[in-house]
Amino acid sequence: MEARYKMEENPDPKGSGGKKLLHPRLIPYKTYSIRDLMRYGKDRSTFSEADISGALKLITDLVAENLQGGNNVEIEGLGFFSVSLKSRPVMDKKELRSESVHFKNVNFRCCQALKDRLKTMPLSRIREEKCRTFSDEEKYRRLQWYMDRHPYITVLKYRSLNGCSDYTARKELAGFVEEGTLEAGGTRHMSIYTRPVRKDEPETGPLVIESNIDPE
């Protein structure tokens, strides 16, 4: 099976408005869970799903324990795992106690053997419909039409509504917030934008994001 990609415009943070360079972006077919990999793995080996699950659990525990103990971990054929730390900025190391240094992230560096294996991956460009370009006035009208029918809008929905990139959607939504058309809210993982509550309108309770509601 060939991997798919599409060409996307590079961000234009300076807002020059000129022709933008393009870059390829991989479009995944799906995200495979560990259960998917175990199911495929048992068909290609003499191990059962339980055997593979137990081995993966053991490897995960050993990697976590060694990283927690201050070691780096190399899994041959895959890559290197290491831990990065964070603290408040200081000019002198004597200003910082160990209690002020904390875990930041797990870093992964792919090994060269895996990179070499992927260099020959087959690729094909997906067919894309030509995007319509809307004027600022049309985007504003489309936003108002959507907000008349929904309590909030997300970056993903704004992208779909106006056929723009993630960068453009976030920039334009920030512009609507700055001019007072929208208010920003939501969570760290999901930003939402609502209409400001007018002074003569009663305040409502906290907004519940649909994706956080458990299906019955």
* 130 occurs within a structural domain: no
Question: How many structural domains are present in the chain?
Answer: 2
- What pLDDT, on a 0 to 100 scale, did the predictor assign at position 212? 44
Calpha distance 180→196 (Å, rounded): 7
The residue segments making up the domain with residue 51 are 3-124
Same domain, 75 and 152: no
- What pLDDT, on a 0 to 100 scale, did the predictor assign at position 203? 53
Residue environment code for 192-204, b if the CB has 16+ CB neighbours within 10 A, otherwise e: bbbbeeeeeeeee
- The CATH number given to whatever domain includes residue 173 is 1.10.10.10
Same domain, 61 and 22: yes
What's the token pair of residue 34?
């560990």
- What pLDDT, on a 0 to 100 scale, did the predictor assign at position 74? 96
Same domain, 66 and 111: yes
Of 95, 124, 153, the residue that ends a domain is: 124
Same domain, 63 and 145: no
Grouped pLDDT means (10 residues each) for the chain, 216 residues: 85 70 88 85 87 91 96 95 91 82 94 94 81 83 94 92 87 93 86 83 51 42
- What pLDDT, on a 0 to 100 scale, did the predictor assign at position 195? 93
| pTM, rounded to two decimals | 0.54
Of 99, 124, 149, the residue that ends a domain is: 124
* 131 occurs within a structural domain: no
- Name residue 5's beta-bridge partners: 26, 125
Of 124, 148, 176, the residue that ends a domain is: 124
- What pLDDT, on a 0 to 100 scale, did the predictor assign at position 109? 96
